[in-house]
Every structure is written in C-alpha cells, then in structure tokens.
Chain A
Amino acid sequence: MKITFASGKGGTGKTTISTNLTSYLARMGKSVVLADLDVEEPNAALFIKSTLKKTEISNKMSPKWEEVDCALCGKCAEVCNFNAIVAMPEEILVFPELCHSCYACSELCPTDSLPMTPSRIGEIKEFKADGFSLVEGRLDLGQEMAVPLIAQTIEYTDKNFSDSIKILDAPPGTSCPVIEASRGSDFVILITESTPFGLNDLKLAVETMKVLKQKFGVIINRYGIGNKGVQEYCRDENIPIITKVQNDKEVAKLYSKGELIYPQIEHFKNSLDDIVKFIGGLK
C-alpha cells in the first residue's frame, strides 16, 4: 500500500499529518515507512526523533560536450525541449541544471559529441525512528530538477521497504514534482483548508489527479476557519472527505516545537483514526 499526501496550496499540513500518521501506524504495530519527497525543502526529519542509518548519492545523467569531432551543427540545441543546450558559433554550452535526461541531444548528435555522464544532484538519506523508517530526498543547493530525485527516492523506498505501508509526503503545487510523487501510488490524499485560497488550489489539485486517473480523497485541515466552500465543492464533485482536522492553536504550538501532535491532542488522534479506517477500507 502506497499513499501520497499532496495538496495544491502549501502549508496545509501535509508534513504534520503524514509524520503523525506514520508514527501512529507504527505505534499500532504496522510496518510503515515515510518518504519525504519535498526534496527542495525536506523537513519531515525535524518532527521525528531519528538516527541516520544510510546516505546514498543521487546522480542525474546529462550530456557532456566533447569538442574533438563536433561539427557545431546545432542539432543538439534544436532538439532540446528544455533550453539546456546553447549552440554558440564556436562551442556548445550545456546547462545540466536544465537537463531532463531525455537523451535526445546525445542520441541524435551526428558525431557522438555529447555522451551522457552522471553528475550529483542530491542525496537520499534513510533514518531509523521509533518503530519506523524515514527516507528523505534532499536536492543540492542550486539544482533545479526535483523530479529525478523524487523518482529515485520513491524507487529507494519501494526497493528497501517492499512489504511496508508507504506514506509519501509530496511537495506542494500541481506541477511535475507532484505528479511524480503521486502517479505510482494506490491513493492520494489531498490536504486543504476551508478558505477560498485553499479551495482554489484544491480544484487545481483535483484536476491534476483526474488527468492522472488517480484515486483521491480530501482532508480538511484547520476546520472551523474560512467558509463552507471546500465542503460544498467536495459534495458536488462526489469527493470523499476523509476527516476534518479541527483548527486548534495547541496543534500549532506543538508543531512549532517540532513535537508529534497525536500523543497530546485527542481530537487530532481521532482524525488519524479516521484516516487509518479509511486506508483500511481501501483494499
């Protein structure tokens, strides 16, 4: 079972709910792993007491220009859909940060002057926590491509924790990184808040999931603020609302101290029970 926690809007509680749920499932005796896929700013590890077990270097393939046989025909720059290659009159410039590793330039180069070579983009870390493991993808500073590292972090998690429940904490938004974090999962839980802003971004996320033909449900976080817009939308669109997490300043206080919420706040724990029950009914 693999479940992605996504949202449209940032700051709706993906990490808060996924870290707490993972810990809660572990305490119930389940084999569970949490993967932090917000590789541009991973922070799940801040909320989980853990020790580092293993670090793997993450590489990406990108072309390297070899001058010798190059005819400077410019075919490479022409076929690149991502503006990663600039053909100058006397040289070919490659910008690996922009490369999507599609191999088009390398394969179509008539003189084989752009061999694909690996270069480091970040790290995958595995942490051992109380009863479960945490896998974190972390992009190096200056790197712009989150997708390859997200894919590798999921692959690592699948390979090393094949029999566990996998909770994936996705980045916010609705672009490529979110799609990569969602498309291979059994179910996606979209976390939103009942404000006009939350609703606007929820709609974008729902449209994204529909294009992916992905099964999904909604959690309304900070329930009690804003208006009824999200509830009405979910009702009209027939989207299941898995739970409503009460708006509570005490939750924010615990979050700001980097502490788990459910051991101290009953209504939050009840919401986790709703999620566990919902997940249990998915199979």
Chain B
Amino acid sequence: MKIVFTAKGDSWDSQMDARFGRMELLVTYDEASQTLQAATNSETESMEHGAGLQTAQKVLELEPDVIITGNGAGQKALEILKRSNVKMFVGAGDMTIKEAYEAFKADKLKTQF
C-alpha cells in the first residue's frame, strides 16, 4: 500500500501538516519497498487561489491508496480526489508522521470520504 502524508518534514519523527492544499511537504510511504520519500509543495505558497486543486492533482500523480492529513481537503480539492479510488483519513494534524501511521494502522483515524 502507498500512503501520502501531509507533513512539515521528511522523516518519521517530523510533524504532520494539518493543512491539505498548502501542506509543506508530501511524504509518501511505500509499504512494499518500505521507503519514505518527500516532495516539496512550496509553490502553493504564492498561490492566492486554487492551491488545493494543484495539490490534489500532485497527490493523485503519486497514485496513493491512502492520504493521511489533519483538517481534510476543501470542497474543490475533494472534487478531484473523489475521481480516484484514494481513501482520505483526517485528524492527524498534531501527530508526527510515525504516530499518524500507527494511528491509521490501529484504525483510529476518521475518513473524510
């Protein structure tokens, strides 16, 4: 399974970013290869509008099975995300990536859709 975390840093101990559209980093964990990879999302900083749309598209290009985030995605980003089979889990905004992963595995996170 491939999981995308909305994060502020690129290691297991990094803090999650509660925001979706303007998250600092997209951190992908591939369970099959057990690798953690980070990609920047800093270009959304300068966007006045539409950051969520661009981020949603970028996330889908990674073809994840699951997204783990904090507050959840906005309405327009959801329109895009819902066109794929990805599952979205929320409420992990105050955790580290590791804690978020463990909470997801323990079935403790709520789904946004």
Closest chain B CB from A85 CB (angstroms): 9
Work out how many contacts link A and B, with CB atoms closer than 8 A. Answer: 28
Q: Which residues of the partner chain A approach B56 to less than 8 Å between Cβ atoms?
A: 86
A93 proximity list for chain B (CB < 8 A): 79-80
Complex contact B83–A82 (CB within 8 A) = no
B85 at the interface (CB under 8 A from A): no
> Which parts of B44-68 form the interface with A (CB within 8 Å)?
47, 49-51, 53-54, 56-57
Q: Are A95 and B83 within 8 A (Cβ)?
A: no
Q: How far is the CA of A93 from the CA of B80 in the complex (A)?
A: 8
Contact in complex: B50, A83 (CB < 8 Å): yes
Q: Is the CB of B47 within 8 A of A83?
A: yes
Residues of A in contact (CB 8 Å), total: 11
The reply to whether A98 and B49 contact each other, CB–CB distance below 8 Å, is yes
Q: Mark A64-94, 1 if CB is under 8 A from B, else 0.
A: 0000000000000000001110101001010
User: How distant is the Cα of A84 from the Cα of B47 in the complex, in angstroms?
Assistant: 12
The majority secondary structure among interface residues of chain B is helix
In the complex, which of the residues B50, B51, B79, B83 contacts A84, with contact meaning CB atoms closer than 8 Å? B50
Give A58 to B54 CA distance when docked, in angstroms: 29
Nearest chain A CB to B107 CB, angstrom units: 31
Q: Are A144 and B49 in contact (CB under 8 A)?
A: yes
Q: Name A's interface SS.
A: loop
| Shortest CB distance A65–B (Å) | 14
A100-B54 Cα distance, complex, nearest whole Å: 17
Chain B residues whose CB sits within 8 angstroms of the CB of A95 once the complex forms:
50, 53, 76
Instruction: With CB as the reference atom, state the residue of chain A lying closest to B60.
Output: A88
Q: Which residues of A contact B53 (CB under 8 A)?
A: 83, 86, 95, 98
Give the residue of A82, A88, A98 whose beta carbon is less than 8 angstroms from that of B80: A88
A193 to B50, CA, bound (A): 34
**Chain B residue, CB-CB nearest to A145:** B49
Interface centre among B50, B53, B57 (most CB of A within 10 A): B50
CB A231 to nearest CB in B, in angstroms, measures 34
User: What chain A residues lie within 8 Å of B76 (beta carbons)?
Assistant: 95, 97
Q: Which residues of A contact B80 (CB under 8 A)?
A: 86, 88, 93
Q: Does the CB pair B79–A98 fall under 8 Å?
A: no
Bound complex: CA of A144 vs CA of B74, how far in Å?
14
A83 touches B54 (CB 8 A): yes
CB distance from B77 to the nearest CB of A (A): 10
Give the distance in Å from the alpha carbon of A248 to the alpha carbon of B83 in the complex.
57
**Which residues of A have CB within 8 Å of B49?**
82-83, 98, 144
Query: Can you spell out 20 A-B residue pairs with CB atoms less than 8 angstroms apart?
Result: A82-B49, A82-B50, A83-B51, A83-B53, A83-B54, A84-B50, A86-B54, A86-B56, A86-B80, A88-B80, A88-B83, A91-B83, A93-B79, A93-B80, A95-B53, A95-B76, A97-B76, A98-B49, A98-B50, A98-B53
What residues make up the interface of A, taking CB atoms closer than 8 Å to B?
82-84, 86, 88, 91, 93, 95, 97-98, 144
